Structure 1
């Protein structure tokens, strides 16, 4: 990411986040991925040379934050409402509960070594409540599209891996088989 990218400070206010950019102001956002766009709307004419393009989101301590959405999709036919309510009552830090098009979801804004690390940590926390692979969607559409140069690539790979893990579980395919397929299909080799 561009070192000169604007730095937006994000403050969790319980059911949303306040996005702050000193030269622009602040605004409230429910979807932290849209912070730059929402701030860009505050500028007369809705334009800033670096908004809503590449930006860095940080917390009040200056630590980099990664915004993402995780949707719960379960095709097992089992009623998971009690488990979802348990997750809702014990949200992972930096995540807010939502229901999008009838699907339970988490809007998240998390610290992490990188974007994949932030996503993985939320999944680990949610799994403690009995959720298995149904937390498997990052809200990506048009999975066949690809573009380089931004976080879209990381989100797309994470989306595909989460979907693969979920579908493999439904088909009784063990994780080791998925890892073997990844190694065979890519340059990843066992050590």
Structure 2
């Protein structure tokens, strides 16, 4: 189990979840911050756990994008029942979740990528990297941002792992196709966008 908000974000960006149970009182980035960052790129079901039972706190959580709000202390059977209910409500939408730029499509439920009708086989890291670039389409991502969101936050930034990974991803996603989507911004980083 991860113990702080930065680790929680790292796990979220490197794995596919149907539901997130999020404690408000996380060190580093608190639960509100994690909720806000997740909501910028995903509509995954999120349940907030907190000892703050005031109405204003409940409203804050729900208005910020939480799907449910459970106050501590709680009985474990109630938590499980709420999880089952949330998964039932969101199953169809989660299975159909896709991201798309031009003819590039990422099927999050099946963890598959396509350019038009051509299926592209990706490794786990390539999928995570493409997911990150697609979720921030049009936004330039720096090397340090990519390192912290796709690899471990303490990863050695002096290695050329990003360049190698981008090259491999381009070989699958861009090179066989006329319309190039992954672009290098010299001295800054990378951006995925349709420039056709």
TM > 0.5: no
Give the structure with the higher percent helix.
2
State the TM-score, normalized to the length of structure 2. Answer: 0.29
State the TM-score, normalized to the length of structure 1. Answer: 0.29
